[in-house]
Amino acid sequence: MTTDTALVLGATGLVGSELMARIYTYYKRVIVLSRRTVTMPYPNVEIHTIDFEYMDEYAALFQVEDVFCCLGTTIKQAKSKEAFRKVDYTYPLQAAKLSAAANVRSFTIITAMGSSSKSAFFYSRVKGDLETELQALPLHALHIVQPSLIIGARQEFRLGERAAATISPLLSPMLRGPLAKYRPIQASVISEAMLYAARSGLGGTHIYASDQLRIMAAQLKNNNN
Ligand SMILES: NC(=O)c1ccc[n+]([C@@H]2O[C@H](COP(=O)([O-])OP(=O)(O)OC[C@H]3O[C@@H](n4cnc5c(N)ncnc54)[C@H](OP(=O)(O)O)[C@@H]3O)[C@@H](O)[C@H]2O)c1
């Protein structure tokens, strides 16, 4: 059943584009915030090209039911730790603050497996700092998705992801039980799990590892049948 309005940040990325391929069938209207002019072949999608430095100016667009944040970059792409932190911490946090102020029903975001403010790794620390700040906001529902390595059809070459995609079919059968969360996960599966989480009606904070994301994606499909 299609209901309400959703807002998506990071809609042009690997997970974001998988989300876009599905989300338009679940909502009457989908608003996308993008840093560049893009077109999408979906009937009910409204794309706003914005400068993320001035997200505050677009506060009115956050008057929606569900917000999905798939923003992210790499230090290689961003070219500095500061620029990386802006995309992976400052912008998502700003989006969450605007979502809380708009009293949205849910805010669903991808961070990463191993996120921790105490991590020795800069990447995981940035994600962990973000999670801590998000949990302090007055959001009705906060869904934090912590995937393992993401695989999918990415244009850009990323050695780690390409290698994982190659060995995944060999490795995955060995990663069972408590190790299942370490198995690489398809971007499409993450997008389905995000939809399931946002539409679950659950309040409060929920954090999901890859093994749970697979179950949620399957449940979304079951609900559709
Ligand atoms: N890759 C992995 O294996 C992995 C594992 C665990 C968690 N994660 C996390 O999962 C999330 C999604 O990953 P992904 O691979 O789908 O990301 P992705 O393909 O790199 O897409 C990132 C999105 O963020 C946008 N973005 C990047 N820099 C921006 C900027 N300066 N201003 C505004 N928008 C900007 C991109 O827009 P453009 O299209 O305009 O560039 C794109 O829509 C990220 O937070 C990532 O850290 C990734």
Sign (positive or negative) of CA dihedral 58, 56, 81, 18: negative
pLDDT confidence of residue 224: 83
pLDDT confidence of residue 177: 81
**Taking a C-beta distance cutoff of 8 angstroms, is the pair 113, 148 a contact?**
yes
Output the residue whose Cα is nearest ligand 1's atom 24.
Answer: 71
Q: Is any atom of ligand 1 closer than 6 Å to the C-beta of 10?
A: yes
User: pLDDT, tens digit, for every residue of 139-160?
Assistant: 999 999 999 999 887 677 667 7
pLDDT confidence of residue 56: 97
Mean pLDDT of 57-71: 98
**Is the pLDDT confidence value at 52 over 50?**
yes
> pTM to 2 decimals?
0.94
Mean pLDDT of 76-103: 97
**Is the pLDDT confidence value at 162 over 80?**
no
Output the residue whose Cα is nearest ligand 1's atom 10.
Answer: 110
Task: Specify the residue for token string 């969450």.
Answer: 96
**All structural domains of the chain:** 5-224 (3.40.50.720)
Q: Is any atom of ligand 1 closer than 6 Å to the C-beta of 12?
A: yes
Mean pLDDT of 73-97: 97
pLDDT confidence of residue 3: 61
The two structure tokens encoding residue 50: 């914005």
pLDDT confidence of residue 25: 96
Q: Is any atom of ligand 1 closer than 6 Å to the C-beta of 194?
A: no
**Is the pLDDT confidence value at 108 over 70?**
yes
How far, in Å, CA of 214 to CA of 225, rounded? 17
Sign (positive or negative) of CA dihedral 43, 156, 181, 163: positive
**Is the pLDDT confidence value at 1 over 60?**
no
How far, in Å, CA of 123 to CA of 114, rounded? 10
Mean pLDDT of 182-209: 96
Cα(145) to centroid of ligand 1, in Å?
14
Which amino acid type is present at position 4? D
Average pLDDT of the chain is: 93
**Taking a C-beta distance cutoff of 8 angstroms, is the pair 88, 72 a contact?**
yes
DSSP conformational letter for 130: H
User: pLDDT, tens digit, for every residue of 168-181?
Assistant: 777 777 778 887 88
Which amino acid type is present at position 3? T
Q: DSSP readout, 73-93?
A: --HHHHSSHHHHHIIIIIHHH
How far, in Å, CA of 160 to CA of 171, rounded? 14
Q: Is any atom of ligand 1 closer than 6 Å to the C-beta of 14?
A: yes
DSSP-based helix, strand, coil % in the chain, nearest 5: 50, 20, 35
